[in-house]
Structure 1
Amino acid sequence: MALPDLNSAVGHSFGLEFDGITIKSITEVSGLKMEQDVVELKQNGPDGKYDIKKLPGRPKAGECTLTRGLTGDQSFEKWVKDSQFGKMPDARKGGAIIVFDYEGNALKRYKLTNAWPKSLEIGSLKAGDTSVLTEKLVVTYERLEVE
């Protein structure tokens, strides 16, 4: 029996790709999750015993949070405005979150279907603070696939 390959990849940086545009300055991605309902089938078996079987149900929609340093790039703000003003055909996008290695090669892609921004949060503004100012974009999506 062969031993599993335990070489795991280290995500050096992350990117968001929508409409052929890649934003490579994402510093953190959290909440990426594929989930589905669980359906319980309750029945009596041939021997009369009560059985419960758990079966896969419908897939659930998800949310993830993307964090990046605050820049002059207005793409997050424009995307949020499109959804706030009801321009959902423009706001709903298909795209991917990409994990890059230290050389900039794509290691893995997480494809999002019908994604749109739920919220945008700017980090704390403190006078005299020396930490990096960040913005966090919460994106909701209908489906997540690993490519």
Structure 2
Amino acid sequence: MALPDLDTAVAHSFGLEVDGIVIKQISEVAGLKMEQDVIELRQNTADGKYIVKKLPGRVRAGEVTLVRGLTADNSFEKWAKEAQFGRMSNARKGGAIIVYDYENNPIKRYKLVNAWPKSLEISAMKAGDTNVLTETLVVTYEQMEVE
């Protein structure tokens, strides 16, 4: 059940969908944004006043950072290797960041167009440490659409 219009979403459950495969164990998503250039048009009006108009420019590409606990699932590594070895026809994928409500129903999708992994980082490993190992994937995309 979707949230009523007056309630806001709680960021406790979200996932990544790439090529129809959903990874729900994402613990953090950062940097998800839509952005475009601003064009400044400077001109004089008919009565001689100097004005600056701001017009919408090109849509900018973006980057999103995904963090999840390290598991036996190697889907992040496989995807990163495609880009690392220059197989961009395999690496560029359509995907989405999905936000789920408290009943695990999807309430919002942030569709990523031509996304591919820029970097993959494993957290620091220290003998005797009890912190969870994580992997951080930075994904670059050409455009984001909200569904």
State the alpha-carbon separation in 2 of the partners of residues 87 and 105 from structure 1.
Answer: 35
Alignment of 1:96-135 (within 5 A): 96-135=96-135
1:60-84 Cα offsets, whole Å, 9 max, x none, are 0000000000000010000000001
* Matched residue, 2:8: 8
1:46 deviates by 1.3
C-alpha distance in structure 2 between counterparts of 1:90 and 1:41, whole Å: 41
Deviations 1:89-115 (A, max 9, x none): 100000111011222110100000000
Write the distance in 1 (CA, Å) between the matches of 2:13 and 2:132: 17
**The residue matched to 1:127 in structure 2 has which SS?**
coil
Aligned to 2:19: 19
Question: Unaligned 5+ residue runs, structure 2?
Answer: none
Question: Residue 29 in 1 paired to residue 29 in 2?
Answer: yes
Higher mean C-alpha deviation, range 86-95 or range 97-106 = 97-106
| Corresponding letter in the other structure for 2:71 | T
Percentage identity across paired residues of the two chains: 73
The Cα of 1:25 is off from its aligned counterpart by 0.4
Deviation at 1:131, TM superposition (A): 1.0
Distance 2:114 2:39 in 1: 25
Task: State the shift of 1:126 in Å.
Answer: 1.0
Q: 2: distance between equivalents of 1:102 and 1:7?
A: 12
Q: Distance in 2 between matches of 1:135 and 1:32?
A: 18
Aligned to 1:74: 74
The amino acid across from 1:122 in the alignment is I
- Corresponding position of 1:95: 95
Q: In structure 1, the residue corresponding to 2:25 is in which secondary structure?
A: strand
Q: In the aligned structure 1, how far is the partner of 2:69 from the partner of 2:144? A: 25
CA distance, structure 2, for counterparts of residue 9 and residue 18 of structure 1:
23
Letter in 2 for 1:83: A
5-14 or 48-57, larger mean C-alpha shift: 5-14
Tell me how far 1:12 sits from its aligned partner: 2.1
Residue 11 of structure 1, CA deviation: 2.4
TM-score for both structures, normalised by structure 2: 0.95
| Deviations 1:5-40 (CA, angstroms, capped at 9, x unpaired) | 542111221111111110110011000010000000
Mapped partners of 1:64, 1:42: distance in 2: 34
CA RMSD between the two structures: 0.9
